[in-house]
Amino acid sequence: MLERRDRAMVATTFVSGLRVGALTSLRLKHLDMDAKEVIQDGREMRAKNGKSFRVFWFPRTEDL
């Protein structure tokens, strides 16, 4: 179970580019799987300077 969580966190870091603080406070409600984006809400997440913004996932290739 822990290994699966760790792999998901590394993959999310790669596709979104979030900082560690924001990533550890990320919740499922911040993910939009259909639009492939993360909504970083500075009021709910530990974000640098409390900034809120949308992060679109890094496009991945088949080799990845």
Structural domain range at position 29: 2-56
- For residue 64, the model assigns a pLDDT of 55
Structural domain contains residue 50: yes
Structural domain contains residue 62: no
Q: How confident is the model at residue 63 (pLDDT cuts 50, 70, 90)?
A: low
- Using one digit for the tens of pLDDT, what is the confidence trace for 36-54? 888 888 888 887 788 888 8
Domain count within the chain: 1
E strands present in the chain:
31-32, 37-40, 53-56
Distances in Å between the Cα of 57 and the Cα atoms of 1, 2, 12, 17 are 25, 24, 9, 8
Torsion from C-alpha of 64, 1, 20, 43, nearest 10 degrees? 120
